[in-house]
């Protein structure tokens, strides 16, 4: 086990002598490990995604998973004869999480060592310990929200969208228009706070400051009267992406200060990254205030820095620790994308 204490977002399972006893390709009559179904269901209910990295024939393995009524629990399965490290790299790319948020479960020391050699950030665990997974702190998120309980379904909807997008004939804007997207911006309610905390903890790539806030801190902002705490949700004809964005604006006498801006990487290719930013600019303009915004360079949030720059923010100060202060003149505010129906409070 890795000493990393970061929350696990994806558990990747081997199959032979891990999920089941026996070797499928050798004609064994494979039998599920005792209690493995319950472990998989518990992990899924906590909003932790699961996938497969197995050296097997894909059709045979998927058929067996269907017989065991488990196939639907795994997204982006990698079932082939390539190295397990190659499989984990593909799963990481498709789900778009850090390798340090992935746990790999396999019965073979060689396979675990091969993965660990290629991906030292990943956590590798011996399959003999599978019954202990639900008790591991890194697989026990502080809150299980409505969005986290539906996470697998939301990713499966994303897969359907991607499949349709890949076969769509026409410009990308026309496809986005066909999704009938609604972007909902609302003041954070008490019932949104658990998801708001989860967003600050789980979002790394599109988090402007990298800061995390707990439930109590966010609730203080919500009720203070000096802050706007905004929650964003995206819906299209496939269903809801869930609560995918969060913004914290401090309303000072001299100006408004954007203290936190984050967006789930799942909506990165939907062109919605600047919607809440433009909304805040419009509100700031209506209030007759100037707008400043915090940013901190991290290993993963370069895309958010680019978003600020493309949004016409100007850098007015920075320090050696990577902290940046942006300012916007509120003259050139990006319009909302025409393919998005904005729903406001």
Contact 12, 103 (CB under 8 A): yes
The answer on pLDDT for 3 being more than 60 is no
Record the tokens describing residue 134, joined without a space: 């639900």
CA distance 106 to 16: 9
pLDDT band (50, 70, 90) for residue 299 = confident
The answer on pLDDT for 1 being more than 50 is no
Model confidence pLDDT, tens digit, residues 72-121: 999 999 999 999 999 999 999 999 888 999 999 999 999 999 999 999 99
Query: Which stretch, 130-134, 156-160, 165-169, 338-342, has highest mean pLDDT?
Result: 130-134
Nearest to 105 by CA among 122, 81, 91, 86: 122
Specify the pLDDT at position 2: 42
Nearest to 42 by CA among 127, 140, 137, 125: 140
Angle between helices 84-95 and 109-118 (to 10 degrees): 50
Specify the pLDDT at position 205: 66
Of 92-101, 161-170, 204-213, the one with minimum mean pLDDT is 204-213
Record the tokens describing residue 173, joined without a space: 């804007």
Of 54-68, 203-217, 293-307, the one with minimum mean pLDDT is 203-217
Contact 130, 18 (CB under 8 A): yes
Which has more confidence, 328 or 310? 328
| pLDDT above 90 as % of the chain | 67
The answer to whether the pTM exceeds 0.85 is: no
| pLDDT above 70 as % of the chain | 97
CA distance 147 to 180: 21
Model confidence pLDDT, tens digit, residues 107-159: 999 999 999 999 999 999 999 999 999 999 999 988 788 888 888 998 998 89
Domains belonging to the chain, first-starting first, are 10-139 (3.40.50.1000), 146-343 (3.40.630.30)
Specify the pLDDT at position 203: 67
CA distance 273 to 147: 20
In whole numbers, what is the pLDDT of the chain averaged over residues? 91
Model confidence pLDDT, tens digit, residues 40-82: 999 999 999 999 999 999 999 999 999 999 999 999 999 999 9
pLDDT band (50, 70, 90) for residue 211 = confident
Which has more confidence, 5 or 289? 289
CA distance 225 to 89: 46
pLDDT band (50, 70, 90) for residue 161 = confident
């Amino acid at each position: 086990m890795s000493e990393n204490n970061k929350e696990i977002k994806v558990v990747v399972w081997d199959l032979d002598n891990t999920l089941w006893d026996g070797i499928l390709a050798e004609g064994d009559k494979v039998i599920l490990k005792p209690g493995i179904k319950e472990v998989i269901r518990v992990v899924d209910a906590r909003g932790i995604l699961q996938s497969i990295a197995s050296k097997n024939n894909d059709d045979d393995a998927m058929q067996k998973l269907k017989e065991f009524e488990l196939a639907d629990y795994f997204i982006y399965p990698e079932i082939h004869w390539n190295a397990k490290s190659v499989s984990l790299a593909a799963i990481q790319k498709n789900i778009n999480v850090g390798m340090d948020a992935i746990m790999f479960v396999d019965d073979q020391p060689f396979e675990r060592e091969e993965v660990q050699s290629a991906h030292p950030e990943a956590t590798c665990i011996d399959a003999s310990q599978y019954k202990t997974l639900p008790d591991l702190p890194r697989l026990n998120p502080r809150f299980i929200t409505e969005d986290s309980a539906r996470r697998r379904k939301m990713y499966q909807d994303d897969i359907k969208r991607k499949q349709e997008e890949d076969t769509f004939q026409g410009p990308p804007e026309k496809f986005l228009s066909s999704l009938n997207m609604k972007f909902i911006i609302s003041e954070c309610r008490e019932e949104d706070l658990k998801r708001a905390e989860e967003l600050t903890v789980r979002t790394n790539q599109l988090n402007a400051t990298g800061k995390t806030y707990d439930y109590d801190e966010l609730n203080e902002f919500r009720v203070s009267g000096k802050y706007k705490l905004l929650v964003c949700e995206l819906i299209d004809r496939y269903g809801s992406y869930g609560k995918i964005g969060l913004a914290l604006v401090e309303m000072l006498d001299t100006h408004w200060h954007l203290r936190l801006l984050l967006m789930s990487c799942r909506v990165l290719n939907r062109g919605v990254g600047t919607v809440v930013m433009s909304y805040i600019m419009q509100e700031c303009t209506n209030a007759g205030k100037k707008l400043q915004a915090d940013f901190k360079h991290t290993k993963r949030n370069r895309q958010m820095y680019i978003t600020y720059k493309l949004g016409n923010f100007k850098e007015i100060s920075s320090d050696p620790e990577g902290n940046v202060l942006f300012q916007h003149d509120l003259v050139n505010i990006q319009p909302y994308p025409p393919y998005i129906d904005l729903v406001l409070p």
